[in-house]
Amino acid sequence: MIKRILAGVAAVGALGGLGFLYYAWYPSIAPVPRPAASSFSAAQIERGRIVAAEGYCAECHTRTDMGGGPELAGDYKMDTPFGAIYSSNITPDEKTGIGNWSEAAFHRAMHLGVSREGEHLIPAFPFDHFTKMTDQDISDLYAYIMTRPAVSMAQRPNELPFPLSLRILQAGWKLLYFWPGVYKPDPRHDALWNRGAYLAEGNAHCGACHTPRDFMGAEKRSSDYEGAVVDNWIAPPLNEHNPTPTTWTEDELFQYLRFGVAPLHGPAGGPMSPVPHRFLSTVPEEDVHAIAHYFADLDHASERQGHDKAALALAMEQSKAGLIGPNTDPDAKLYQGACAACHYNAAPTPVLGRPDLALNNALWLDEPTNLYQVILHGLTAEEGQSGIAMPSFYNALSDQDMARIAAYLRRTRTTLPPWTDLEKKAAAVRKTVQHVPVNSSH
């Protein structure tokens, strides 16, 4: 009896294995000569430029370490919990890029995460979002990519340990976590909402940073936009759990995504900074409105914004109270010396370019990570609001100083419980700073 069960299990196992191989196997698609630029219309190339901007292709496909590299030529190093991965050269170079990929091969890569040669691509390439793109968008994107300058540049080999280095295993990941398919409009919502959802869920892959991942590196579907750690920053929740005291309304979202600064919330720093500055400021304004419209619905802005007036008044009160009257609190003095000159606000609203810390996510998240990142790095003139900068305090403040400022701001500007282990966390964030910023004050 037991033998028959075992034989049965083995047979099912073998069938499963065969089924898996059938599922996992893709043919190579024959190379083609690089298509002539004249085979694409100027209008199609321009549409493709917008699609490429909305998917930040250049952000991940351009080397930033080792002195940088040519745009789209790849070799951008991505540190994952499993090991470093290097992006591909996607310029139309025929040897080291994708110059001999047919449109069908390109479409398959975007839609299914499979290379021209038939190998599974690693989901650090966010094909789990790109799969939602329409055939027309992928076709336009192909026209744009194929008409960029061809650059000969080979990427460094990935540093994934065995057996993760086996690409066939990626098929197992896909079986568990990947649902290919173009975005389906939701008939309960209007065209603007659906355009926003199409972009956010698909090409613009906001969830790739703002949704937490499980131990297999997949976005947790039950926790969409609950906030996540990315590149040693916290990408805050974008749903109704966003902790900032004033609501992310459609207009705040639009200003932030289009210009890199929201009047009430402050600037887009760290990994968020290129999203507005390098990309969403270069696409049709209507698309940015659509994304803002979508997230304002997702965070239930219309139901929550009733509290904004009171929250704003309280923040202005706290900002002012920190500066007037005799102050014996040594932490307050430290803050006044280092920060208050540039962050002081008074009613009725903060001055643009002088973010009010009582309203900024840096004080309201569960961890002081973003606050420490900003203190250590400062913000360059390219980040946040264009042309306005904050110096780095990397050299000027010790971990203990940073901990005192963090504790002080948390207790005087928020209604939340104090952060713990502040000095240890300051040292941990300091360790992640790779280059001491050149604008660091002494």
**435 labelled ligand-binding:** no
What minimum distance in Å lies between the beta carbon of 300 and ligand HEC?
14
Nearer to ligand HEC, 20 or 278 (CB): 278
Residue 44 CA to residue 326 CA, distance in Å, equals 65
Whose Cβ is closer to ligand HEC: residue 7's or residue 250's?
250
Between 20 and 158, whose beta carbon lies closer to ligand HEC? 158
Select from 269, 234, 266 the least CA-distant residue to 378.
269
Give the residue carrying structure tokens 């420490």: 372
Report the nearest approach of ligand HEC to the CB of residue 360 (Å): 5
State in angstroms the smallest separation of the CB of 324 from ligand HEC: 19
343 is in an annotated binding site: yes
Task: Please measure the distance between the N-terminal and C-terminal CA atoms of the chain and give it in whole angstroms.
Answer: 79
Minimum CB distance to ligand HEC smaller for 55 or for 69? 55
Between 179 and 279, whose beta carbon lies closer to ligand HEC? 279
Does the annotation list 377 as a binding residue? no
What length is written for the chain?
442
**300 assigned binding-site residue:** no
277 carries a ligand binding annotation: no
Minimum distance, C-beta of residue 24 to ligand HEC, in the bound complex (Å): 15
Least distance to ligand HEC from the beta carbon of 264, Å?
10
- Cα–Cα distance for residue pair 406/165, rounded to 1 Å: 42
d(CA 137, CA 308): 39
| Contact between 251 and 290 (Cβ < 8 Å) | no
What is the b/e burial string over 195-207, where b = at least 16 CB atoms within 10 angstroms of the residue's CB? bbbbbbbbbbbbb
61 labeled binding residue: yes
209 is in an annotated binding site: yes
By beta-carbon proximity to ligand HEC, the closer residue of 15 and 65 is 65
Burial class (CB in 10 A: 0-12, 13-18, 19+), 365: buried
Smallest distance from ligand HEC to CB 430, Å:
14
Q: Which residue is nearest to ligand HEC (CB)?
A: 384
Strand partners, 83: 80
How far is the C-alpha of 273 from the C-alpha of 269, rounded, in Å?
5
- Measured in degrees and rounded to the nearest 5, phi and psi for residue 266 equal 105, -165
- Known binding site: residues? 57, 60-61, 206, 209-210, 339, 342-343
- Known binding site for heme c: residues? 57, 60-61, 206, 209-210, 339, 342-343
